[in-house]
Amino acid sequence: MGLNGCTPAAPETPTIAEPLADLASPGVPPGAALLKNGSQTVLAPGLRPPPLLPFLQTGSPPSPAPPPCGASLCAAPPPAPGPGWSTERVARQYIVPCMRYYGICVKDGFLGPGPGGRVLAEVEQLARGGLLRGGQLVSQRSIPSQSIRGDRIAWVGGGEDHCGAIGALMAHIDQAVMHSAARGGLGRFINGRTKAMVACYPGDGTGYVCHVDNPNGDGRCITCIYYLNKDWDVQQHGGLLQIYPEGHNVVANIEPLFDRLLIFWSDRRNPHEVKPAYATRYAHTLMHTRSHTHGRTKTRPSDPYLIGITFAC
């Protein structure tokens, strides 16, 4: 058993059907259903899954040196900018189907090189200013944090001086999540998120052991990680994120490439780890929260890093 239940438990509840909203996506018929076996999600008859692409490798444990990754988890890449392009279209035709089937979605070129570069410059300034501190654990307080995670972090609200680009990134991620959650697209009412966790692995061979972001049902629902590492070579620099999706005999190998957004379920469905990094590795993380009842959340009300937000879903 890994940290915070990193080894997923076997499903304990019977299989039930859950209706899907019309995803307006080729190969996904209106009114199709997902079959849920505990926390495992499988396809109902008639719903064609996105086929496996290089991020997902069958079998576990993974090989020590995974091959280079491709650019998406789903069958087709996200709609390209142009006539008819919108964040809403990307959310409904790409993010939602990936999340519903795999529980993981990757979007490259999320901001573009200019805005992404400005975020990187602000993050580097935070690091140079000594504002990053050793990462702490939400649970397992009897275990020294340094033996589990080697990153240094800062919590950023986006409105601080010299953090305008970070704030703009947060707004773009919020918009993507908002459109994905609209009309029940992600299955829950999302009504809050954390501040941004800006993290730096200093390149001394440290990583983050296998863990679950939300093992205890505290309300955190979706983890969104934006990577800031230009010219990253996973064979030389390490720092690979590996996700072991529950219910799928696959491993997701995610390289922390510049301007890449990774989205995945925060709960026990997605145990994951950061492999040792041998170059400075930056990431920006938001966790969105959900409740079963509109306007309520299970997240600890005293959490200083939680921000209530309202999405017009």
Whole-angstrom CA distances from 305 to 106, 151, 195, 308 are 25, 18, 5, 10
Q: What pLDDT score does 7 carry?
A: 57
Highest mean pLDDT among 8-22, 87-101, 131-145: 87-101
pLDDT tens figures, 146-172? 557 788 999 999 999 999 999 999 999
193, 307 contact by CB (below 8 A)? yes
Q: Where are the beta strands (DSSP E) in 90-219?
A: 104-108, 133-134, 152-156, 189-194, 196-201, 208-211
Of the options 3.50.50.60, 2.160.10.10, 1.10.287.610, 2.60.120.620, the CATH number for the domain spanning 51-308: 2.60.120.620
Chain position carrying tokens 């730096």: 200
Could you give the CA distance from residue 186 to residue 178 in angstroms, rounded to a whole number? 10
Two tokens, residue 38 = 């505990």
What's the mean pLDDT in 96-114?
91
What mean pLDDT do residues 267-285 have? 94
Mean pLDDT of the chain: 72
What is the mean predicted confidence (pLDDT) over 233-245? 94
**What is the percent of the chain with per-residue pLDDT over 70, rounded to a whole number?**
61
Confidence of residue 78 (pLDDT cuts 50, 70, 90): low
**What percentage of the chain exceeds 90 in pLDDT?**
41
> How many separate helices (H) and strands (E) can be counted in the chain?
5, 17
Greater confidence, 84 or 47?
A: 84
- Tokens 């937000």, located at residue: 309
Has residue 71 got a pLDDT over 80? Answer: no
Q: What predicted TM-score, i.e. pTM, was given to this entire model?
A: 0.73
pLDDT single digits (tens) 7-56: 543 333 222 222 222 223 333 333 332 333 333 333 333 334 455 455 66
What is residue 51's predicted lDDT score, i.e. its pLDDT? 53
Say yes or no to pLDDT of 189 above 90: no
Q: Is the pLDDT of residue 234 over 90?
A: yes
